[in-house]
Amino acid sequence: MTTLRLRPEEPADTGPVRQVLAAAFARPDGTTPGEVTLVEELRGSEAWIPELAMVAEYGGEVVGYALLSRVHVTSNAVRWPALALGPVGVAPHRQRVGHGTAVVQAALDAATELGERLVVVLGDPGYYRRFGFDPADRLGLTSPWSGLGEPWQALVLPPDVSGEPAPPSGEVLFPPPWSRV
């Protein structure tokens, strides 16, 4: 029986991850999806956290991907670390069998283990609620996507051993690659 293996991205996964994202976000005109470019640009930035770039491997093939990268919440001139979830993609031939849910949960679990406290995402509320995401405005978080309503979401992760509180309300600042998506 073939099982799904969830693990951090390795250098040899760059090409397969690109293929998964290109297929998952394929454009009718054949141009490279912005999600592919986003990951490639984030890899070379300070926002990249290698342990939080998660792949799903099935039968030796990379079939899913979920990325958590560094963002910051600003409040009263203080910058608090947080994470942005995305992109999340699954190869079309492996969609709707739980690989997306598994790879997102693996990334969130890894973030919790690292002591991270807050994750934001822009996506389908019906999908992300299963992980505990709620509208980000309930936490007083704003971003360039705040005006989109419920798709702008946030998740407070369980407290780490130090008991540090979640970042306060404020504006979520994304690294430059995000502005090009």
What are the chain's domains? 4-180 (3.40.630.30)
Q: Which neighbouring-strand residues pair with 126?
A: none
Q: At what angle do helices 34-43 and 14-24 cross, to 10 degrees?
A: 150
Give the model's pLDDT for residue 163: 63
Residue 94 has pLDDT above 90, yes or no: yes
pLDDT in tens, 136-170: 999 999 999 899 999 999 999 987 555 666 678 99
Give the model's pLDDT for residue 162: 59
Distances (CA, A) of 181 to 37, 38, 171, 178: 8, 7, 19, 6
Position 77 confidence tier, pLDDT thresholds 50, 70, 90:
confident
pTM over 0.75: yes
pLDDT in tens, 24-44: 999 999 999 999 999 999 998
Tell the burial category of 169 from Cβ atoms under 10 Å away from its Cβ (0-12, 13-18, 19+).
middle
